[in-house]
Amino acid sequence: MVRSNFHLRKVLSAVPRYGFAVASVAIALAPGLVLQHYKFNDVELPLFLFAVALTAWHAGVGPAILSIVLSTACFDFFFATPIYTFYVAFADLPNVIFLVSFAALIVWFSSIRHSAERQLRQARDQLQMEVLERTQQASLLNLTHDTIIVRDMGFVVMYWNSGAQELYGWAPEEAVGKRSDELLGTHFPESIDEIRAELLRTGRWEGEVTRTKADGTEVVVASRWSLRRDEQERPVAIMETSNDITEHKRREEEIRGLNQELAQRSTELEATNKELEAFAYSVSHDLRAPLRHIAGYAELLQKRASSALDEKSRRYMTTILDSAKRMGNLIDDLLTFSRIGRVETQRTLVNLEQLVKEAVGEVRLETAGRDIAWKITTLPVCYGDRSMLKIVLVNLLSNAIKFTRTRPRAEIEIGCAARTQGEAEVFVRDNGVGFDMKYANKLFGVFQRLHQPDEFEGTGIGLATVQRVIHRHGGKVRAEGVVDQGAIFYFSVSKP
């Protein structure tokens, strides 16, 4: 009824509404005149009042006032004596006043009714909007992957979103109205009283809880609770958002297991390393001592018995001494090589130019009686273990000196081949005997030698040591050579 009226009002815009007033008065006038013709008097008044009421009801206040004016005029002209004049006889005056006042009353009531209706409609529209908005918000809560549960203070579920259904397996209609802790068999990390106390004190609580799903499997969730209070600050509900961390926990557990295993392996490795260190120590100490004795006593024997020995015996003695010396060098080189694998690198800023000068000083003994043209160009400051990098330089310089021995004038150059962001490539170039590039891959292997011992002496550990140091620094080594024309050794170092 209200709704159709609303539509009617919309249809009746101003002109039709006033037309409605005129028409209704005209329609009331027609039967009045007909009935008056047949001497049925006093019907016209209710008819006019009916027309006014109809207009007021359907067309509003303005047309209703028009209908009052028209009705009064028609009544005055057609029915009040004297008829067909606008003059009103005294006897008919109460009728006119009755018509006007009663019609006015009808219009007034009708307008009150209309305004009440309007307010009602507005209130309803507003309510509809709010409902729409709330519905949208509620559907947003259903969109989230997180589970959202609202419970009253007795843990009875009041709201259960689709995330909760997805995670726990119960539909909202199954869960709402039940106690959540019973439904889900929740295991709390602390007592429920403590949780409640914290919730009331701070308004929130969070922790990891274990729950059982509808299918019986366990799930671990990270749960966050917020307390809702009413206008009087009384706690009324708890909103819980939570997300599934079962997989996360499982991975954590797995990582913990792996870490434990790693720690154990690391302990084992440490033990192995200690053993290795003990071995190296005993090599260093216990193998060197008898070697020194062999060399020492052979030397003493040579001194004492030299005159009594024949040429062959003297050569035997010399061979014993040379071999002992060579073995000593071998042990020393092997120890250096193994130490680089065992010892932590102590990285600092290293001035390579300064270090090259020190290395040149260290190999000075090997250059006695030689004509060597040194060329040291600008070298960068790099980042690395100073003593290890010195081993690299000493080895490379020592090699350069050794393999240029057949040259009347040796040329050895140390420089920087390339600099890129964070890295520099240093080279040591010589004009020595060089090597065939097809053996380049063998150069850096332990005990790999490209020359006969009687040609160029050596232990075959030097370049392996160089490679090990540079690899431990995260760098690369390479070599270029041409037989009889010299060799270039490159190594890269990181640069600040």
Stretch that binds other proteins, among 223-231, 268-276, 331-339, 362-370 (CB under 8 A): 331-339
Q: Which of residues 273-292 bind other proteins (CB under 8 A)?
A: 280-281, 284-286, 288-289, 291-292
Q: Which of residues 299-318 bind other proteins (CB under 8 A)?
A: 299-300
* Residue closer to other proteins (CB basis): 398 or 448: 398
**Per-residue contact flags (x/-) with other proteins for residues 375 to 394, judged by CB under 8 A:** --------------------
37 binds other proteins, rule: CB under 8 A: no
298 binds other proteins, rule: CB under 8 A: yes
What's the 3-state SS for 439-483? HHHHCCCCCCCCCCCCCCCCCCCHHHHHHHHHHHCCCCEEEEEEC
How far from the centroid of its chain's Cα atoms is residue 404's Cα?
Answer: 59
- Residue from 335, 372, 381, 440 touching other proteins (CB under 8 A): that is 335
- Residue from 203, 257, 296, 361 touching other proteins (CB under 8 A): that is 296
347 binds other proteins, rule: CB under 8 A: no
Residue 218: CB minimum distance to other proteins, A: 53
Residue 391: CB minimum distance to other proteins, A: 12
262 binds other proteins, rule: CB under 8 A: no
Stretch that binds other proteins, among 130-138, 154-162, 297-305, 312-320 (CB under 8 A): 297-305
295 binds other proteins, rule: CB under 8 A: yes
Among 211, 205, 208, 193, which residue's Cα sits nearest to residue 238? 205
* Residue closer to other proteins (CB basis): 146 or 332: 332
Side chain identity at residue 294, one-letter code: I
Stretch that binds other proteins, among 20-28, 44-52, 293-301, 438-446 (CB under 8 A): 293-301
Residue 399: CB minimum distance to other proteins, A: 21
- Residue from 92, 206, 208, 332 touching other proteins (CB under 8 A): that is 332
Residue 281: CB minimum distance to other proteins, A: 6
339 binds other proteins, rule: CB under 8 A: yes
Q: Which of residues 159-198 bind other proteins (CB under 8 A)?
A: none
- Residue from 12, 321, 376, 381 touching other proteins (CB under 8 A): that is 321
- Residue from 204, 293, 370, 409 touching other proteins (CB under 8 A): that is 293
Side chain identity at residue 321, one-letter code: L
Q: What angle do CA 490, 493, 494 make, to 5 degrees?
A: 155
Residue 392: CB minimum distance to other proteins, A: 17
Angstrom distance (rounded) from CA 377 to CA 427: 10
* Residue closer to other proteins (CB basis): 186 or 302: 302
Specify whether the CB–CB gap between 240 and 195 falls below 8 A.
no
- Residue from 187, 325, 375, 419 touching other proteins (CB under 8 A): that is 325
Residues that bind other proteins (CB under 8 A): 280-281, 284-286, 288-289, 291-293, 295-300, 321, 324-325, 327-329, 331-332, 335, 339, 343
